[in-house]
Chain A
Amino acid sequence: MDQIQKTLLEEIAGLHEVPAGAYNIRANGSMAGRNTTANIDIVTKEDKQGIDIIIKPGTKNESVHIPVVLSQSGISEMVYNDFHIGDDCDVTIVAGCGIHNGGDKKSQHDGIHTFYIGKNCKVKYVEKHYGQGEGTGERIMNPETVINIDENSYMEMETVQIKGVDSTDRVTKARLADKASIKVIEKLVTHGKQYAKTYFEVELDGEDSSANVISRAVAKDDSYQVFLAKINGNNKCAGHSECDAIIMDNAKISAIPEITANNLDAQLIHEAAIGKIAGEQIVKLMTLGLTEAEAEEQIINGFLK
């Protein structure tokens, strides 16, 4: 693995070396490393690009890293990764994609991650997207995440895109059984002429299921973001979506929350707020000796924390 790929890996997965536990590293369209453990197996799909990650029931305190890096300009790929998580597991899954585009051709990574989470599980899923490179070629990522959560399981999904992705169309769909819950935290920053669309769709099918979708977004320069969050309460359940966004320069943001109660006992809330950084926040930090630019940076860092 070359230095550029190592840098990308560090950005998206915080990895300096190969990670502990199970992992599968995909670089420029092919496998660059894999490790399985007694409880976690990783198998290459035969009918299409991608892998199956199979986690045995009862697996606790283990992690799986499946980062993807593209450092060659002009690559376009579509990958299918399926996660089969047995009952009673407590695992962390770290995915993510880093693109370095040094050329003038488009580099694109599209992926569908499908989760089949068993009963009584606790799953943390972290996904980071990052782009860099001096080339004029576009860096495009379109991740789709399909989540099925069985009874009494909890999933926390943290999805982060801070820098360098020119265009992204992100789709997350979740279906929850009885007493299942999901928390999604999205952090998104766009700059330049970037475009980002986020679509969440949660079906609260199970009794006492719950969903909390939180998005913190910052749009700078001439970038454009669209946030759609749809929660359907199909049983006695609780759903909450929140989009909080800071807009700067000539950027534009649309937030379109939608909640549907298909059951009398569904309790659903949506919140959306878009605004520029409050002038008084900048002034306060300037009175502490920060420049206007430093003040903005602190405010945004805090907001995305």
Chain B
Amino acid sequence: MLELKNISFSVEENGKTKEILKDISLVIDDKKFVAITGPNGGGKSTLAKIIVGIEKPTSGQILFNGQDITDMSITDRAKLGMSYAFQQPVRFKGIRVKDLIKLAAGDGVSVSGACEYLSEVGLCARDYINREVDGSLSGGELKRIEIATIMARDTELSVFDEPEAGIDLWSFKNLIKVFEKMHEKEKTIIIISHQERILNIADEIIVVAAGQVTDMGTKDEILPKVLEGNTLDSCKYYKG
């Protein structure tokens, strides 16, 4: 179980303090598929980064399976069982797709095992396994490789930041299948997304806007409101 207690996060900008997240408290139960949605700039990505340790909250507490992980490093959280798929995957010179999947899986993955992950994200393993994870790959290809690394990690909790961005329509179907399969394996999934089809397969939806949770509940409760645009007063938030 993941629990965020009174999480706030602020940055200094031009000598002024800007609040990105304001007193967010929420609980994500085990094996749940939770989608976080809301307008751009509302703090969703920051929230994901705080969960996996890339950013440290200004105040508040994070508990993972009852353990306080607020001051824990990214590495230690990863070892505890958290994965994170970047919104904009990182490129590496000289590191091959195979190397990255092996690093993600730990020592135990074979080349054929790595190929299976690639096939599941719709990439022909033979064409990609020895490619470098560098500028020669398109944004969509990188996104899919990023998702394959998360599958290889097979952790208790996986956090995806807009996994659908840059993915073509054909791959999108596969992407949905990938998430459904992870969910069937009883893993906890948090996905930041604007896509109705992803929101539609979630158990719960959390709406984050202007650094606050403005609505949360089951998919059936929240999705109709999101689609009608009733979850937030956009003018109020966009005015800052």
Contact = CB atoms under 8 A, between A and B. Distances in A.
Q: Determine if chain A interacts with chain B.
A: yes
Interface of A: 244, 278, 280-281, 283-292, 298-299, 301-305
B86 interface: yes
A288 B153 contact: yes
A302 B95 contact: yes
A298 B95 CA distance: 8
Given A281-B92, A298-B99, A302-B99, 14 more contacts: A244-B93, A284-B86, A285-B103, A287-B52, A287-B82, A287-B83, A288-B78, A288-B153, A289-B78, A292-B75, A298-B103, A302-B93, A303-B93, A304-B94
Interface residues of B, number: 24
Nearest to B104: A288
Interface string B132-159: 0000000000000000010001000000
A301 B75 CA distance: 20
Contact of A280 (B90, B94, B100, B149): B90
B74 A286 contact: yes
Interface majority SS (helix, strand, loop, mixed), chain A = helix
Nearest to B52: A287
Contacts, number: 54
Contacts of B52: 287
A288 B149 contact: yes
B73 interface: yes
Interface of B: 52, 54, 73-75, 78-79, 82-84, 86, 89-90, 92-95, 99-100, 103-104, 106, 149, 153
B74 A283 contact: yes
Contacts of B74: 283, 286-287
Max chain A C-beta neighbours (<10 A), residue from B54, B82, B95 = B95
Contact of A286 (B73, B89, B153): B73
Contacts of B94: 301-305
A286 B53 CA distance: 10
A292 B75 CA distance: 8
Contacts of A289: 75, 78-79, 106, 153
B92 A302 contact: yes
A-B CB proximity, top 7 nearest: A302-B94, A302-B95, A286-B74, A289-B78, A305-B94, A284-B90, A287-B84
